[in-house]
Amino acid sequence: MNPDNYLDSPENIHLVTRLLELGKSLCGLELGPYLTSLVSAVTELIVCEAASILEVDDDGDQLHFLAAPQIHWEVLKSVKVPVRASIVGWVFQNDQPAVIQNVKEDPRYFKGIDKAINFTTHSMSVVPIAFHGEKIGALAAVNKMGESQFTENDSVILETVASYAAISIMDSHLKTDAQESQTILSQLNRMKSDFIAITSHELRTPLGLILGHATFLRDIIPDNYRSQLDIIIRNAVRLKNIIDNITRMDNAQTGLTSLQIRQISMQTLIEGVMIPFHDEAQQKNISMHFDIGPGDFLVEGDESKISIAFSNLLRNAIKFTNPGGHVAIVLAQLPDYVTVSVIDDGIGIPSKDLPHVFERFYQVESHLTREHAGMGLGLSVAKVMIEMHGGRIWAESTEGKGSNFTFLLPLKSGQISSVNQPPSS
Ligand code: ADP
């Protein structure tokens, strides 16, 4: 074919059109039918008796057929061709084409295929199939028809078709790999959820007993032992919070969490959640203020989930504020939303960590040197709980000065929040 005027004859126009068609259908067909269409196109374009596509086995020693003429497919699909003792194997290994006009004179000729399908091979033109340097297999055209021999033009056509074959084989492998990874991922996810469900159940029962008995004992023992029981109770509650957060996070991820919507007063909710924190704040000499703006603060939502989000923010504010510090809770009403801010003048968060604090297991302090206990789950749980309501949560902070965590909730359930940016404060 003359590259300067390759559309100079009806044959060449047909050839180019056919190759373009094969290129176009590359993404449209499954691997098997597509490769079969390639070998029949090769037979037609090169005018030869047969063509086939072979791929190397995983162990690299043998090649197997991916496509061959329909009449031989049933037999050839299970025939193996040795890489080190065949012409296609040589082409594959050396990543070079080979044109053999008389195979009987070639010591690499492998008789096994002809025997299997009762066929006689005279001549072959074979090109490698490779993708970005990765050897995949070979494309072979067999027995040029009539008196003629395989030409250089035939090799060009074969190389073009081989590049289509390479792309479709790699594409199919990638799809299979992606599906397998997805299956493994789902299995691992299920195992993780089972593990979390079983462990948290097994931990919760003895923990409930410890808390129950410790609380009972605290009320009846002499005053001088009470502080020891307070330590037991405080740490048992801390363990319970960790277990609850892990379970909540997993339930939300696996879709097991649903909302029990009813109308709730945010003011009552906040006051209720604050009660158990008063003692802790007092012990650390931290003052807590609840600041309410004008509004009725009635929200359609799931009380327990909003309480969890708010209590996780409040727990952090007290935890990360030094003795003598202040924590303010501010409830405000916008036209369609309420906002709740938990503001402290504690240790603050470095600006490089701030964008990550809502990620699961993220902690600013290194787990080796940190002073504050925790799993890095409280904020991610709060985020999930608020976003389930169509709300938003965000943090502003200055290291050494303090933090402001705010969440915004729509007043009506099902109302999608159009507020993407934190309202300027
Ligand atoms: P943890 O359970 O470890 O507290 P969180 O998800 O609640 O995990 O918080 C993640 C990290 O964000 C914390 O470890 C802490 O470093 C930082 N953080 C959260 N709230 C505050 C706050 N009010 N002040 C300073 N740092 C905070």
Q: Tens digits of per-residue pLDDT, 106-153?
A: 999 999 999 999 999 999 999 999 999 999 999 999 999 987 899 999
Nearest atom of ligand 1 to the alpha carbon of 377: 6
Q: Residue 206 and residue 84: Cα distance in Å, rounded?
A: 66
**DSSP type of residue 79:** -
For the ranges 5-14, 99-108, 154-163, 283-292, the lowest mean pLDDT is seen at 5-14
- The residue ranking higher by pLDDT, 138 or 15, is 138
Q: What is the tens place of the pLDDT at every residue in 23-33? A: 888 777 889 99
320 Cα to the center of ligand 1, angstroms: 7
In the structure, what pLDDT confidence band is assigned to residue 4 with cuts at 50, 70 and 90?
Answer: low
Nearest atom of ligand 1 to the alpha carbon of 365: 16
* Res 267 pLDDT > 70: yes
Ligand 1 pocket test: pick from 379, 396, 401 the residue with the most ligand atoms within 8 Å of its Cβ. 379
Q: Which long-range contacts (CB under 8 A, 24 or more apart) does 234-238 make?
A: 236/207, 236/210, 236/211, 237/211, 238/373
* Res 417 pLDDT > 60: no
40 Cα to the center of ligand 1, angstroms: 65
Nearest atom of ligand 1 to the alpha carbon of 344: 23
State residue 370's pLDDT score. Answer: 66
Q: Rounded mean pLDDT of 214-234?
A: 91
* Res 419 pLDDT > 80: no
315 Cα to the center of ligand 1, angstroms: 9
Q: Residue 194 and residue 102: Cα distance in Å, rounded?
A: 65
357 Cα to the center of ligand 1, angstroms: 7
Greatest CA separation for the chain: 112
pLDDT, the chain, mean: 90
Give the binding-site residues of ligand 1, using a 6 Å CB cut-off.
312, 316-317, 320, 344, 346-349, 357, 362-365, 374-380, 403
Other beta carbons less than 10 A from residue 115's beta carbon: 10
Other beta carbons less than 10 A from residue 311's beta carbon: 19
User: In the structure encoding, which two tokens stand for residue 278, read together?
Assistant: 């008063």
In the structure, what pLDDT confidence band is assigned to residue 416 with cuts at 50, 70 and 90?
Answer: low
Q: Whose CA is nearest to atom 11 of ligand 1?
A: 363
Q: Rounded mean pLDDT of 296-301?
A: 93
Q: Whose CA is nearest to atom 19 of ligand 1?
A: 316
* Res 57 pLDDT > 60: yes
273 Cα to the center of ligand 1, angstroms: 19
Ligand 1 pocket test: pick from 363, 385, 393, 404 the residue with the most ligand atoms within 8 Å of its Cβ. 363
Q: Which long-range contacts (CB under 8 A, 24 or more apart) does 73-76 make?
A: 75/116, 75/117, 76/52, 76/113, 76/116, 76/117
* Res 190 pLDDT > 80: yes
395 Cα to the center of ligand 1, angstroms: 11
Nearest atom of ligand 1 to the alpha carbon of 379: 6
Q: Residue 64 and residue 73: Cα distance in Å, rounded?
A: 12
Q: Tell me if the pTM is above 0.75.
A: no
- Kind and range of the H or E element at 288? strand 287-292
Nearest atom of ligand 1 to the alpha carbon of 321: 24
* Res 420 pLDDT > 80: no
State residue 255's pLDDT score. Answer: 75
In the structure, what pLDDT confidence band is assigned to residue 201 with cuts at 50, 70 and 90?
Answer: confident
Ligand 1 pocket test: pick from 319, 320, 326 the residue with the most ligand atoms within 8 Å of its Cβ. 320
State residue 2's pLDDT score. Answer: 54
For the ranges 172-181, 227-236, 346-355, the lowest mean pLDDT is seen at 227-236
312 Cα to the center of ligand 1, angstroms: 9
State residue 425's pLDDT score. Answer: 33
* Res 160 pLDDT > 90: yes
307 Cα to the center of ligand 1, angstroms: 17
In the structure, what pLDDT confidence band is assigned to residue 375 with cuts at 50, 70 and 90?
Answer: confident
User: In the structure encoding, which two tokens stand for residue 212, read together?
Assistant: 């129950």
364 Cα to the center of ligand 1, angstroms: 7
414 Cα to the center of ligand 1, angstroms: 30
